[in-house]
Structure formats: C-alpha cells, structure tokens
Chain A
Amino acid sequence: MVAGEGVGVNWLIDFFGDPANWSGPDGIPVRLLEHLQFSALSLLLAVLIALPLGLWIGHTGKGALFAVLSANAARALPTLGLLVLIVLLMGVGTDIPVLIPLVALAVPPILVNTYEGIRGVDPELRDAAYGMGLRGGQVLGRVLVPVALPLILLGLRIAAIQVVSTATVAAYVGLGGLGRFIIDGLATKDFPRTIGGAVLVALLALAVQLGFTFIQRLVVSPGVSERQAVR
C-alpha cells in the first residue's frame, strides 16, 4: 500500500514536472480554461433557468412538488448514463449535446434550494413587508431574497460542484477540459497523466468550494448569517 502511494507521488512528479504538459492544445492551462469555460457556461444556463423558476415557485407556492421531485430525480439519475445516451441521441461532434445533461443536472439543486430558501422565510417577515407597503416585487427583491441568500448560494454551490464533476466525466464522450487527462491517460495506460488530471480536477473543485465560501461572506448580510457586525 505504501509502495502504491509512493508510485502515485512519483507519477504526479512525472506529470507536473514535464514542461510539455504546460503548453499546447493539450496542456494544463488550455484544458483548465476549457473546463472553466464549459462549466461556467453550463452553470450560467442552469442559473438562468432555475433561479427565476425557484423564486417564482417559492414566492407563489405553485409547483413546489415539481421542484422537490426534480431534485430527487436529478440525484437518482446516473450522470454517465445520461451523458452517453443524450450524446448518442443528439450526435457526436459538437459540444452542444453535452451541455444538455450538464445543465439538466445543475438546475434541480438551484431550483430546490431557491424555492426552499424563499418558502422558509418567516411568514411574519413577509407580513411585515407587505404591511409596510412594499409591492410584491419589492418584497421578493428587498426582503425574501436577501434573507434566503444563504440557501440560494448553497444551491448554486452544489450545482457548480456538480457541473465541474460532470464535465470531468463528460470527457468520456469527447468533451475537452481536465477530464481529458483522466480519460486519455486511462485509454493509453498513461497513469501519470490520469492521476495528474484527477488531482487537477480535485483542486478545481476545492477552489470552487472556497470561492463560494468567500462569496457567501461577501454578499450575505451579517444580520442573516448572525455574525457579529464588524464595526
């Protein structure tokens, strides 16, 4: 076992120490950028679909069952199966077919957390907001969203991690990005490449996690997170 770990570390040194891996179309910077671009695009599309829908469901209470069921379904659906099926059905060649399952899997966590966040706001607060003369949109924008922000951000974080992770698997159906190192390495029995790719993906996921923690600190009111106000 210890020998195995030693081999793993040597492989990492091989991979990251090779200057060839840091340049060209199959270099780490390019693959990282591909991964980031594709993940960001998927997340953006998912946000555009899920956020308004989740706000609407949470604010009106309509379609709540749909939100919950979609979250359960997304958890049960095997990502790899979904990827190969949709790409096979839509045709190989462009990256568009890959976008569909990525977006589809990122929508439910955003949707359900936004909905739960808005719905979970103390009814007294909603009452007070309307009672003071805020209009529907103002109640949503100035009161419900700021108070529900921690949960909404949690949904976004889960979705972002999901996208980064699924985009890695999607290398199997031809997508670029860091998953390429893993899939190509496995195919050619180039283990340094495979392990190197895996470490890069893990680091990216951690960076995303960290980024969201930072965003949370930045945008959530101390009054909501109940941190002592810094004065």
Chain B
Amino acid sequence: MHEEPLVRWDWIGRNWPNIQVLLEDHVVMSLVPIVVGLLVALPLGLACVRWRWLYQPTVGVMNVVYSLPSLAVFIVLIPVTGLATRTTVMIPLTFYAMAVLIPAVVDGLTAVPDHVRQSAVAMGFTPLRRLLRVELPIAVPVVLAGLRVAAVSSISLVSVGALVGRGGLGYLFIDGWQRQFYTPIIVGIVLVVLLAAVADMLLVLAQRLLTPWSRARGSA
C-alpha cells in the first residue's frame, strides 16, 4: 500500500458542502429524539411518581428497550417505516432517550426533600403550582444530567443508521471504508465527538441558567 496521509485536508475542503448537509441531517436526527423523548418522559415520570406501582414495570420495559442493539431495531423497523428514512433511525433513538430520561425524571422528583414538599403544602400551594414552582425546579439538575447522557448517546448512535442508509455523519464511515480512505472516517469521528461535546456544554450551560442556586456545587 502506498503511503497514505491520515488526513487529507484538500478532500475536506472540496467536500465541505456535502459534509455540512450530513452534519445538519445528523443534528436533526439526534435532536428530535431527545426533545420528543423528554416531552414523553416528563408526563410518564410524573405518573410514575404519582402512582408508584407504575414505576417498576415502566423501568423494566425501558431496561429491555435500552438493551436492544440499535442496528437490530433499525432493521426491524424497515418494513414499517422504510429503508433509509429519518423515521427509522429516530424512533429507536427516542425510546433510548426515554429509557434514560424517565428514571432521571423520577429520581429528580423524588429527590425533593420531604420537608420542602411539606412546607410548600403548608404555604398553600395547589398541587399544580407546587409541581411547577417547587418540585420541577428542584428536579432540574437530575433531569439535565439524564439529558446529557441521552444527548451524547443519541448523537453517537445516529451514525449506526448509516448501515440502513440514513446515518448523518455515519455516511462518512461507510464512504471511508468502501474506498479504504481514512480522511472521511476521521472527519466523521471528530465531528460526532465535537457535536456531542457541544451538546453537553450547552446542557451544562442550561443547568447553570436554570438552577442558579446549585452553581456552587459545580458539575461532574
């Protein structure tokens, strides 16, 4: 084999518009599952706190969902949602996000100290106001920690979708493999990791803004 440099910058320059398209696709396919996952996890988590018996079965189901290999689920969905569509990739990712977020929502809400809850009741908060003004804000750090895990996993998992024809930046891995060409692979890995890091940082920032009282504790 001839000496091949690990990264050929000229290739990046020439293909930048294509990479940008893949990047956008990647962002959409990882972002939508996180948002939808959160929107579903919040009411479900609340229900699990309200009716404790719901929690064990829900977590059990979510554990099972989380253990299913992503590629297998993509494949099984193909007859329903079609080959190489965004939906095929986004549906499993939504479930993975829920699997992480529901326990986080439940943990966050149950982490509200009992004396805080009691004093809110004593001050005359209605259940809804108590939820919005007291319990949810206190749960925010735990939920955001779950969101960080879900976001980073989601971003990295999208690329597996390339094997079923729709994987955002994952396409670069297929491209590089088929042409025995390192540059796209490395560009893909670097961009996926960067994207994950940016998402993580944004969520840390969001936590600082949403919960100024916990700033002193910092973040892990």
Contact = CB atoms under 8 A, between A and B. Distances in A.
A and B directly contacting (CB within 8 A): yes
Interface in A128-182: 161, 164-165, 168-169, 172-173, 179, 182
18 contacts: A75-B156, A78-B157, A78-B173, A78-B188, A79-B159, A80-B163, A89-B182, A165-B69, A165-B72, A169-B163, A182-B75, A183-B163, A191-B78, A195-B75, A195-B76, A195-B78, A205-B68, A209-B64
Contacts of A202: 68-69, 72-73, 76
Using C-beta atoms within 8 Å of the partner chain, give the interface range for chain B. 35 or more
B67 A76 contact: no
A85 B186 contact: yes
Most buried by B among A1, A78, A205: A78
A85 B182 contact: yes
Interface string A199-214: 1011001101100000
Nearest to A189: B83
A19 interface: no
A5 interface: yes
A206 B67 contact: yes
Contacts of A199: 72, 76
A208 B153 contact: no
Given A82-B189, A85-B186, A186-B163, A201 B72 contact: yes
Interface residues of A, number: 44
A169 B173 contact: no
A79 to B, nearest CB: 7
Given A195-B79, A198-B76, A81 B188 contact: yes
Contact of B76 (A8, A77, A186): A8
B185 A88 contact: yes
Contacts of B80: 1, 4-5, 8
A85 B76 CA distance: 27
Nearest to A208: B67
B149 A81 contact: no
Contacts of B167: 80
A85 B144 CA distance: 32
B28 interface: no
A186 B197 CA distance: 33
A172 B68 CA distance: 18
A194 interface: yes
Nearest to A201: B72
A37 interface: no
A73 B69 CA distance: 19
A179 B164 contact: no
B105 interface: no
A117 interface: no
A173 B72 CA distance: 17
Interface string A49-88: 0000000000000000000100011011111111011001
